[in-house]
Structure 1
Amino acid sequence: MENAIIEFAENLVVNNSIGLMIFFFVSQSLQILFPPYPGDMVLILEGYLSSLGNLPVILIIINAICATFLSSILLYHIGKKEKEKILESKLIKWLFNVKIVSNLRTLFSKYGAAAIIISKFIPGVFSITVLCAGIFQVNKKYAYFAILIITTIHHTVLIMLGKVLQENWRTVFLKLNTYNKYVIVLGVLGIIIYGSMYLLRKKLLN
């Protein structure tokens, strides 16, 4: 998928700048609504292509932020309207890791909307966290603010990295993939340890 996206975007930067901006907008929306989509790679690619196509990098950043923010708000309101029954949907189960919902409930009870910010640093959980923010009725104002803040920081950093590194942008993407793998492994180990300690404690109390 990655190679096809890169080839398509490079073709657009030469022939159709408006089409490229639309493609970037759709890409960042897909990252939220269809998490398997490699949105982080596209963000870095956006920075690199901004130099090739003489596109204002600030416009690309704003475009990316708007796409992610609006699609996140949509996801939040779907969760708020449908509540926990949405988690029984086969599509939602296929798209998102619903097994972590109980952990997210604990996270929201402790940190409130800040849990949305925290989730951005854990691969593959931002979208389900935003959905759960709606399900758990997290204050809309705080949820919007958290989404906007972390999206602005995250997107600006990745796009600027792509712009600065130019042809070497792939190096950053490879390092991100490595980071994601380590975080996932550590996360699984953390869940196993936490679960084991919980069961042991429950057994001792009984």
Structure 2
Amino acid sequence: MEKIIIEFAKDIVQSNILLSYIFFFISQSLQILFPPYPGDMVLILEGYLSELAGMNYILVNINAIMATFFSSVLLYRIGKKEEYKILNSKIVKYLFDTKKVDKLRKLFTKMGAFVIIISKFIPGIFSITVISAGIFKVKKRKAYLSILSITALHHIILIGLGKLLGENWTIILKKIEIYNKYLFVLVIVIIIIYFILIKVKRKLFE
């Protein structure tokens, strides 16, 4: 599948920039709605091809982020509306690892919407985590904010790497698991610093 996507993407970028944005939007949507689709690979490829074709780097990022965000919101809303009934769907069982839902329920009870952020670094569970967030009625504002923030961080880094590496973009694919671990640690450190600053601020102004 990867080789077909790569060749198809290269052909589109060389022939029509508008179709390129549409293709990349669909690709990122498919990563969420059809998890077997290699979305991370396409993100890195987007960075490389955007440099090759002179595409607007900011628009490429916005396009990818919005595709993932809207697709994730769709899953969240489906989970919230259908609740546990959605897990009985044969299509959902085929596309997503529904066995993890009970474990996710415990995590959501302890950590709330932060589980959505963590799941972005664990291959194959982001989509079912978003569905579960809807099922377990995680507050919409917090769920949406978590989806948008981690999606923006994740996509900007991967697209940036593809743009930076150029023809050597395939190198990062071999090290994607290492990248996920480092990015996960970075996010944890940022969040810890954020909460420390909040506590310090409260003590100063009490």
TM-score band, normalised by shorter chain:
0.7 to 0.9
Aligned CA distance change for structure 1 residues 179 and 51 (closer, same or farther; 3 Å): closer
Partner of 1:125 in structure 2? 125
2:198 maps to what in 1?
A: none
- Cα distance between partner residues in 2 of 1:99 and 1:168: 38
5+ residue gaps, structure 2, are 181-206
1:10 has 2:10 as partner: yes
Report percent identity of matched pairs: 63
- Distance (Å, rounded) in 2 between the aligned partners of 1:134 and 1:20: 32
Q: 1:118 is aligned with what amino acid?
A: I
- Give the number of aligned pairs: 180
Q: Matches of 2:90 and 2:48 in 1, distance apart? A: 37
User: What is residue 139 of structure 1 aligned with on the other side?
Assistant: 139
- In the TM superposition, what whole-angstrom CA distance separates every residue of 1:164-198 from its partner, at most 9, and x where no partner exists? 00111101012226778xxxxxxxxxxxxxxxxxx
Alignment of 1:159-178 (within 5 A): 159-176=159-176
- How far did residue 158 of structure 1 move? 0.2
* Structure 1 residues 1-206: aligned runs within 5 Å: 1-176=1-176
* CA distance in 2: counterparts of 1:87 and 1:179, whole angstroms: 31
User: Cα–Cα, structure 1 residues 179 and 90, in superposed 2: closer, same or farther, change >3 Å?
Assistant: farther
Q: Residue 56 of structure 1: CA displacement?
A: 1.0
Rounded to whole Å, the distance in 2 between the matches of 1:67 and 1:134 is 19
TM-score by length of 2: 0.85
RMSD: 1.1
CA–CA distance in structure 2, aligned partners of residues 141 and 69 of structure 1:
13
Distance in 1, Cα, partners of 2:54 & 2:73:
31
> Distance in 1 between the 2:156 and 2:178 partners?
21
- Amino acid of the residue matched to residue 162 of structure 1? G
Q: Which amino acid aligns with 1:160?
A: G
Q: Distance in 1 between matches of 2:151 and 2:137?
A: 21
Q: For residues 103 and 163 of structure 1, what CA distance do their matches in structure 2 show?
A: 37
Provide structure 1 residue ranges, at least 5 long, that are not aligned to the other structure: 181-206
TM-score, structure 1 length as denominator? Answer: 0.85
1:138 and 1:26 mapped to 2: Cα distance? 27
Structure 1 residue runs of 4 or more that deviate by more than 3 Å after TM superposition? 177-180
